[in-house]
């Protein structure tokens, strides 16, 4: 009886381990700041990464017609031009801390597929749980 | 005034120590007098704590900005309901409120057990007093909730507009009620084990508290989803954010405990397992503020860090080590386990459900904690996207839905073949054939086949209800409706559970449909232009500006038509909040049983000349099924909670 239960448990464990193994590969991305990204040279070129930085003051261009948001994120004295296609996310403005998810292309522009905003001040109180 | 509150809060600490000491000595000496003294201690703590709470709430209501907590979260223009909820918008304030709930629940427990002088009750009180003391210390010594503002402002900072709605008013308290309830259950179970009376644990009191805490936590999570969907404007209800997971994980473990406690423990099966479940449920309850206060970085939520995480981590370690040591010393008392006769018995079916729930929590925990752990160990900083959770948790949840359906087929102690008859083979064969037929015929793709495979067994629940109704009608001669309700009433725990299961299946269907069959469209339109999204056409007709002393809003009038027929005008808005110097969108949603049309205005220039605006349009199938599932959960949960009264009246009668 106990043996049978243990065998059943082992099967479940193996199945879940396999599920985890399958999911990890496609879900993990490096998470770096702008300066860390450039410190690593070409290593992260054209790979999926999350880059954290601050939206630079004078760089924001919003083309509503084509839904294209162009801006520069800056951190540690380094700048990275970013292009994002889609709606301007809520709370997007100069000085906001942002996580850009996407790939840095050979053309020297970061193509973001998702933008996640962090509010640097006390607006954070969204997470009141 | 504030000094009074602060002083009252500090005085609770020696009282808590008094309660802990007297109840432990009282239990050792079997002294009724000492045990009673400890109980009075609990009442005094509650009185003082309530005084402190009243002082803080009074400060909020009178906009007393000399208190930092009030200055940071309230403002003159904030409606008074939200002025009160501003208390738990603050990190320390939320811990303060949570601690008060534990103190309230301790008093309720003390009242419920007036005549119970067993040592187990004394230890319960000692453990609860210790938990209270921990939370009170956090909000007095680590961060002082009564801290005075160095230079009181004329107006407070105010509350994030996204929090100013009904959902956020009740979502946090519901979660805290659930969390505090699990603290009470944990204390009762540990105390029963200390006094070598594990059998005591499974009495009605623990059962009732478990259903209550689990129900509140569940409803709290559903309200959180509803809020996220209707207020955050991104069109989703669950982002697998660490903060959301923090509320989900204890609920899933609590679900496992609920089942093992209600079904396995009375049969003396797997006591050790149930004990470990409640321990870890409580550990995850403790961990929840560890995550939300910055112990694990959350990509969606802010950078806010409070000084609590190290203390919470220490408390978690103490609870885990303490419980496991106790378990080692008491393993013999827990060992009297009756083994079920057959492998395919209901006991083992429920055990399997339990194991899968635990695995689900483990997977969510890995996804939540892994990035932080890898970095803490000096590795690369990595991020996991939500796809990880969708791909791993999706199949596990479907397995759970399948088990929920087939569980009633199993008999207690008997094998499946004996209890459900040989026909059961044909039932499973039919399931496989239908699923394969869906795949082959091209009616649906593989996940529809999987969903059908997992969902169909749930008809067994309906079959049970139907059979019961027919039998009741025959035996009592009542009509169908009355017979149906009298069946539901006859065993509220069982049928309440069925309703909850139906609710979970509805929620699952809603989640699957909306994740795989949604349509999303973003477009910038000028007045008179329109955009198509699925079967809908949306024409942008007008843009009006409104201003009050809080915000400047742009309200769009968008005419929605379905297959060419107008279905009404939707009015999403986009507002600039003066006090926050930021923009917030208010979405417009049109709900039908089949799908939601979700329109949000995400950008406009606020210019009377150029009314160009960007809209995000989503067609989300079956969303309302999620909320309907929530309603089933609510009704079933309430039914299960009222079960005890029914039974005792039967005994008396």
> Where is pLDDT greater, at B336 or A71?
A71
To probe the interface with B, which of A23, A32, A54, A55 has the most B CB atoms within 10 Å? A23
Q: Which residues pair with A82 in a beta bridge?
A: A71, A110
Of the candidates A12, A26, A67, the beta carbon closest to that of B614 is on: A67
Number of C-beta neighbours around residue A111 at 10 A: 15
Contacts of A32 in chain B (CB under 8 A): 381
- In total, how many domains does chain A have? 1
What token pair was written down for B87? 């208390």
Contacts of B302 in chain A (CB under 8 A): 118-120, 123-127
Do the chains contact at B163 and A128, CB–CB below 8 Å?
Answer: yes
**What pairing do the DSSP bridges indicate for beta strands B382-384 and A28-33?**
antiparallel
Domain hosting A99: range is 29-119
Is A126 a domain residue?
Answer: no
CA B615 – CA B588 distance, rounded (Å): 11
Helix and strand numbers (H, E) in chain A are: 2, 7
CATH number at A38 reads: 2.40.50.140
Question: By CA distance, what is A119's nearest residue in B?
Answer: B302
Contacts of A16 in chain B (CB under 8 A): 359, 362-363, 392, 396
Is A93 a domain residue?
Answer: yes
Is A48 a domain residue?
Answer: yes
ipTM score assigned to the predicted complex: 0.86
Q: What per-residue confidence (pLDDT) applies to B301?
A: 47
Has residue B516 got a pLDDT over 80?
A: yes
Has residue A79 got a pLDDT over 50?
A: yes
pLDDT tens-place string over residues B202-233: 578 888 899 999 999 999 999 999 999 998 88
Contacts of A127 in chain B (CB under 8 A): 243, 292, 298, 300-302, 304
Give, to the nearest 10 degrees, the angle between helix B386-406 and helix B346-376. 170
Q: What per-residue confidence (pLDDT) applies to B389?
A: 92
What token pair was written down for B571? 């009015």
pLDDT tens-place string over residues B89-109: 888 999 999 999 999 999 999
3-class SS of residue B446: helix
How does DSSP classify residue B148?
B
Nearest CA to B328 out of B283, B276, B278 is that of B276
Nearest CA to A43 out of A114, A128, A100, A103 is that of A103
Interface check for A43 against chain B (CB to CB < 8 A): the answer is: no
Q: Which residues pair with B538 in a beta bridge?
A: B531, B560
Do the chains contact at B382 and A28, CB–CB below 8 Å?
Answer: yes
To probe the interface with B, which of A18, A90, A100, A121 has the most B CB atoms within 10 Å? A90
A62 min Cα distance to partner chain B (Å): 10
Do the chains contact at B380 and A91, CB–CB below 8 Å?
Answer: no
Do the chains contact at B384 and A28, CB–CB below 8 Å?
Answer: yes
Q: What are phi and psi of B539, to 5 degrees?
A: -110, 130
Interface check for A57 against chain B (CB to CB < 8 A): the answer is: no
Q: Are A59 and A78 in contact (CB under 8 A)?
A: no
pLDDT tens-place string over residues B347-395: 888 989 999 999 999 999 999 998 888 888 877 888 888 889 988 998 8
Do the chains contact at B304 and A127, CB–CB below 8 Å?
Answer: yes
> Where is pLDDT greater, at B465 or B511?
B511
Q: Is the dihedral of CA B4, B5, B6, B9 positive or negative?
A: positive
Is A8 a domain residue?
Answer: no
Count chain A–chain B contacts defined by CB atoms under 8 A: 145
Which residue carries 């809209």 as its tokens? B615
Report DSSP letters for B38-63, one per residue.
HHHHHHHHHHHHHHHHHHHHHHHHTT
Is A98 a domain residue?
Answer: yes
B388 min Cα distance to partner chain A (Å): 5
What token pair was written down for A124? 């954070």
A51 min Cα distance to partner chain B (Å): 10
Q: What are phi and psi of A85, to 5 degrees?
A: -105, 115
Q: Tell me which residues of chain B, numbers 141 to 160, contact chain A at a CB-CB cutoff of 8 Å.
A: 157, 159-160
Is A51 a domain residue?
Answer: yes
Is A71 a domain residue?
Answer: yes
CA B493 – CA B485 distance, rounded (Å): 14
Interface check for B299 against chain A (CB to CB < 8 A): the answer is: yes
pLDDT tens-place string over residues B226-248: 999 998 888 889 989 888 999 99
pLDDT tens-place string over residues B402-435: 888 888 888 887 777 777 777 778 888 888 888 8
Q: Are B47 and B33 in contact (CB under 8 A)?
A: no
**What is the pLDDT of chain A when averaged over all its residues?**
84
Interface check for A85 against chain B (CB to CB < 8 A): the answer is: no
Question: By CA distance, what is B87's nearest residue in A?
Answer: A128
- Own/partner long-range contacts of A32-40 (Cβ < 8 Å, ≥24 apart): A32/B381, A33/A75, A33/A76, A34/A73, A34/A74, A34/A75, A34/A76, A34/A78, A34/A79, A34/A80, A35/A75, A35/A76, A35/A77, A35/A78, A36/A76, A37/A78, A37/A80, A37/A104, A38/A78, A38/A80
Has residue B650 got a pLDDT over 50?
A: no
Q: What per-residue confidence (pLDDT) applies to B337?
A: 63
Per-residue pLDDT averaged across B83-88, rounded?
92
Residue A119 pLDDT grade (very low, low, confident, very high; cuts 50, 70, 90): low
Residue B57 pLDDT grade (very low, low, confident, very high; cuts 50, 70, 90): very high
Q: Give the predicted TM-score (pTM) of the model.
A: 0.92
Is A80 a domain residue?
Answer: yes
Question: By CA distance, what is A98's nearest residue in B?
Answer: B299
């Amino acid at each position: 009886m106990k043996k049978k239960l243990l065998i059943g448990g082992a099967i479940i464990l193996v199945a879940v381990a396999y599920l985890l193994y399958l999911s990890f590969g496609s879900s993990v991305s490096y998470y770096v700041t702008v300066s860390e990204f450039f410190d690593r040279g070409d290593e992260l070129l054209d790979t999926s990464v999350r880059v954290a930085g601050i939206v630079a003051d004078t760089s924001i261009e919003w083309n509503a017609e084509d839904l294209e948001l162009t801006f520069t994120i800056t951190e540690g004295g380094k700048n990275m031009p970013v292009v994002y296609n889609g709606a301007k996310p809520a709370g997007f403005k100069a000085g906001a801390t942002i996580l850009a998810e996407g790939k840095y292309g050979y053309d020297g522009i970061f193509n973001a597929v998702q933008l996640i905003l962090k509010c640097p001040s006390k607006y954070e109180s969204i997470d009141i749980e | 005034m504030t000094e009074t509150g602060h002083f009252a809060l500090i005085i609770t600490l020696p009282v808590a120590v008094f309660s802990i000491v007297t109840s432990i000595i009282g239990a050792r000496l079997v002294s009724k007098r000492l045990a009673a003294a400890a109980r009075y201690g609990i009442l005094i703590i509650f009185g003082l704590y309530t005084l402190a709470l009243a002082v803080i709430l009074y400060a909020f209501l009178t906009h007393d900005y000399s208190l930092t907590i009030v200055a940071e979260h309230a403002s003159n223009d904030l409606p008074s309901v939200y002025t009160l909820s501003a208390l738990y918008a603050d990190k320390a304030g939320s811990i303060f409120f949570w601690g008060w709930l534990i103190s309230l629940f301790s008093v309720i427990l003390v009242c419920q057990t007036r005549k119970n002088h067993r040592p187990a009750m004394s230890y319960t009180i000692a453990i609860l007093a210790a938990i209270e003391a921990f939370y009170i210390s956090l909000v007095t010594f680590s961060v002082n909730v009564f801290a005075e503002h160095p230079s009181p402002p004329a107006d407070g900072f105010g509350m994030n507009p996204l929090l100013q709605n009904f959902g956020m008013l009740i979502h946090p308290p519901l979660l805290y009620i659930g969390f505090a309830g699990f603290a009470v259950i944990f204390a009762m179970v540990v105390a029963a084990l200390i006094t070598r009376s594990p059998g005591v644990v499974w009495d009605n009191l623990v059962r009732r508290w478990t259903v209550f805490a689990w129900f509140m936590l569940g409803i709290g999570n559903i309200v959180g989803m509803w809020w996220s969907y209707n207020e955050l404007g991104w069109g989703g209800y669950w982002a697998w954010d660490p903060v959301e997971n923090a509320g989900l994980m204890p609920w899933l473990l609590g679900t496992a405990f609920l089942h093992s406690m209600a079904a396995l423990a009375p049969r003396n099966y797997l006591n050790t397992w149930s004990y470990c479940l409640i321990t870890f449920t409580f550990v995850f309850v403790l961990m929840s503020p560890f995550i939300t206060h910055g112990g694990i970085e959350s990509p969606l939520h802010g950078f806010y860090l409070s000084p609590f995480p190290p203390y919470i981590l220490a408390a978690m370690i103490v609870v885990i080590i303490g419980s496991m040591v106790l378990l080692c010393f008491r393993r013999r008392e827990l060992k009297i386990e009756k083994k079920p006769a057959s492998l395919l018995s209901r006991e083992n079916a429920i055990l399997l459900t339990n194991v899968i729930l635990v695995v689900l929590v483990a997977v969510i925990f890995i996804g939540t904690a892994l990035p932080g752990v890898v970095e803490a160990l000096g590795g690369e900083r990595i991020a996991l996207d939500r796809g990880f959770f969708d791909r791993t948790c999706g199949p596990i949840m479907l397995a759970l839905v399948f088990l929920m359906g087939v569980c009633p087929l199993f008999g207690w102690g008997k094998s499946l073949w004996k209890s459900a008859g040989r026909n059961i083979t044909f039932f499973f064969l039919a399931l496989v054939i239908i699923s394969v037929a869906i795949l082959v015929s091209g009616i649906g793709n593989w996940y529809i086949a999987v969903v059908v495979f997992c969902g169909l067994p749930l008809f067994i629940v309906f079959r049970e209800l139907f059979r019961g109704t027919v039998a009741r009608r025959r035996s009592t001669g009542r009509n169908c409706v009355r017979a149906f309700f009298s069946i539901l009433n006859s065993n509220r725990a069982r049928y309440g559970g069925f309703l909850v299961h139906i609710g979970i299946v509805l929620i699952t269907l809603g989640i699957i449909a909306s994740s795989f069959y949604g349509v999303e469209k973003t477009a910038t339109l000028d007045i008179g232009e329109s955009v198509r999204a699925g079967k809908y056409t949306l024409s942008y007709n007008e843009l009006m500006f409104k201003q009050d002393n809080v915000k400047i809003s742009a309200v769009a009038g968008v005419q929605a038509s379905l297959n060419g027929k107008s279905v009404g005008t939707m009015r999403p808005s986009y507002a600039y909040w003066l006090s926050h110097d930021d923009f917030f969108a208010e979405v417009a949603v049109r709900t039908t049983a089949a799908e939601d049309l979700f329109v949000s205005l995400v950008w406009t220039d606020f210019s009377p000349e150029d009314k160009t605006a960007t809209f995000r349009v989503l067609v989300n199938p079956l969303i309302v099924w999620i909320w309907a599932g929530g309603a089933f959960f609510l009704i079933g949960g309430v039914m299960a909670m009222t079960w005890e009264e029914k039974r005792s009246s039967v005994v008396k009668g």
